[in-house]
Structure 1
Amino acid sequence: MTFEDQLERYFGTRDPATIAPQAVPAAIERMQVDLGLATVPGERFVLWCMLFMFGQAPDIDETFEDRSERDLARDFIEMSEQAGQVS
């Protein structure tokens, strides 16, 4: 599933610029529920990353049992922080 697929699933659009602000809380709630129900590691990671981008990601240690998944999530945070830096 692509990023655009995720946007369409949770926000009803493939274009992030057209996400209605009032749609965000309900989409976040659906992502949180889906994260809690997801059993496939890749799906859990994608949902966690989406929640992270909205500032709503749950604690890494509580979300991921596997150390490699926790490390990957920490790497994602680091890369996101680096991408946000202005030179």
Structure 2
Amino acid sequence: MDFDDLLHRYFGSSAIAEIQPGGLMAGIDRMLVDFGLEQDRGKRFALWSLLHLLGAAPDLEAAFESPADREAARDLIDMLAATEQGDG
């Protein structure tokens, strides 16, 4: 799943700054539904990652059955935190 494709699919634009607040909430709601229905681990991880970036990701324990998937999500969280600390 390509990041720009996900943005366009759920929010109608690949430029996140162009998304109106109402459109953002509607897109997040659609993503959460699709996340709950998705069976493919890679696609689920991509959806969860974007939800995390938007501050709407489900808790890791609820989101991923696999310990490996939870660990990959924790690694992503740690990498993003390190990047934020490097910007300050």
With normalisation by structure 2, the TM-score equals: 0.92
Please state whether the residue corresponding to 2:7 is helix, strand or coil: helix
What does 1:27-66 correspond to in 2, within 5 Å?
Answer: 27-66=27-66
- What is the count of residue pairs matched by the alignment? 87
Counterpart residue type for residue 51 of structure 1: L
Counterpart for residue 2 of structure 2: 2
TM-score scaled by structure 1?
Answer: 0.93
Equivalent residue for 2:11? 11
Q: Which AA in structure 2 matches 1:15?
A: A
For residues 32-68 of structure 1, the C-alpha deviation after alignment (integer angstroms, 9 at most, x for no partner) is 0000000000010011111111111111011111111
RMSD: 1.0
Paired position in structure 2 for 1:74: 74
Question: What CA distance in whole angstroms lies between the structure 2 residues aligned with 1:43 and 1:3?
Answer: 11
Q: How big is the shift at 1:83?
A: 1.0
Rounded to whole Å, the distance in 1 between the matches of 2:17 and 2:41 is 29
- Does 1 or 2 have the higher relative contact order (CA < 8 Å, sep 6+)? 2
Structure 2 runs not aligned, ≥5 long: none
